[in-house]
Structure 1
């Protein structure tokens, strides 16, 4: 099974997943608003991290975790089975484009593949996880339009460079920015990532900046510690 990445309430094995646990997924799982939602969809769950984080934060939520890669889906199932939240998370080894749920979701979250313009490597599983070919933004938005409740939200984390493409696709659908979190390595660095909370209400979005590290570039920032303290065992 390989080395287990230990969080406070669950552990993650990731030796059979192309994309490993990273800061993007941890920040998204800690930042997304998920306290009242009852049905939640995690698109491209990978190791199962996002679903496990949200299940820990919301004890009344039931989660469906989609994963197109067979080995990653199997490992997510194992990670979830060994967690305290196994009765509330279902892993579905299927592509979003083939998924036809019988109910609506209150929240859809995704740490999607976003290297749309980068060269592909020889490892097919990693390419599936890293490239937008298998999950275009337009498909994610189209699915959300069909299967989100009226008050439901779609929350994703992306490189800032991908925002214009997402905004262009958003023009076809009735979604607007609700909350925006700009992510920087330190205060002196430029913004590289952004978390976007999309909903159907047209409004001025709430915006914030999250610096991951202190000025030394090594120590975690107070803001990052406060955001993730319920998960990292060393905070």
Structure 2
């Protein structure tokens, strides 16, 4: 049974009301995206988190980006309430807000400098018997094209976005993004360990065409017992025991 909460160095994520719990690959996306923004957009101000769930990604970005105000949207009422509670209990509550809404129904009058989303759209995988988990893990309410339409409407000129996807569908998403006017800028392909194949991809996309920077990393060493130095370096600001 999953823990009801996950404690980080500077905040705690309660998750009992959320279908999708805190997971290592989402933590990697938050940490790597925060590091990217600290280097490339250190004064960034407005960030949108699409499908926030527990609020994990928003909290990770808020910790590292002191100038950013973050709006998180969530379709599921229980998850939105949980994220709101997690935000209020954090040190950055004044810079975080949750809106319970369908991303497709957002007005385009407010645009954001950066968008982050962890949409576990396992479009070709089998569904479970749990409706909320299906909603969180499958393209039952928002497919890739819908997501790109939302991003295009909400992203300010010159803005970029971060997305975490399973490794196999990532190539398909790159093609669809290109057709929508977004181009891969950086990608990190992730392995569970040095002995495993890739299972996740974290991509940064923008509207300018360029040659993307491609990197890879493993979460654990080949023995699967010890975190790799690259993982430790990224997660040390967040994980209690690193």
User: For this structure pair, what is the TM-score category when the shorter chain's length is used for normalisation?
Assistant: over 0.9
Tell me, which stretches of 5 or more residues in structure 2 are unaligned? none
Q: Where does the alignment leave 5 or more consecutive residues of structure 1 unmatched?
A: none
Distance 1:215 1:119 in 2: 30
What's the counterpart of residue 65 of structure 1?
72
Once the two structures are overlaid, the 10-residue window that deviates more, 199-208 or 183-192, is: 183-192
Counterpart pick for 2:199 among 192, 196, 201: 192
Alignment of 1:117-128 (within 5 A): 117-128=124-135
> Deviations for 1:137-167, whole angstroms, at most 9, x for unmatched residues?
1112112222212221111011111123313
Counterpart of 1:94 in structure 2 is: 101
Q: Deviations over 1:112-161 (max 9, x none)?
A: 02211222222111111000121211112112222212221111011111
Deviation of residue 101 (structure 1)?
Answer: 4.4
1:130 paired with 2:137, answer yes
Q: Hey, what does 2:235 align to over in structure 1? A: 228
Match of 1:108 among 93, 107, 115: 115
TM-score by length of 1: 0.95
Give TM-score, length-normalised by structure 2. 0.93
| Number of the residue aligned with 1:39 | 46
Q: Distance in 2 between matches of 1:57 and 1:93?
A: 25
User: What's the CA shift for 1:201?
Assistant: 1.3
- Structure 1 ranges of 4+ moved more than 4 A: none
Distance 1:215 1:23 in 2: 17
2:119 counterpart SS class: coil
Deviations 1:2-53 (A, max 9, x none): 7431101100110110000001210000001233321000011000000000
Q: How does 1:116-195 map to 2 (within 5 A)?
A: 116-195=123-202
Quick one: distance in 2 between partners of 1:153 and 1:110?
Answer: 12
Give RMSD over aligned pairs.
1.3
Task: Please say if 1:82 is aligned against 2:82.
Answer: no
Separation in structure 2 between the aligned mates of residue 101 and residue 46 of structure 1, nearest angstrom:
22
| Counterpart position of 1:53 | 60
Alignment coverage as a number of residue pairs? 234
Q: Does the 8 Å contact 1:41/1:64 carry over to 2?
A: yes
Cα offset, 1:191, TM superposition: 1.1
Q: Which of 56-65 and 111-120 deviates more?
A: 111-120
Which residue of structure 1 aligns with residue 6 of structure 2?
5
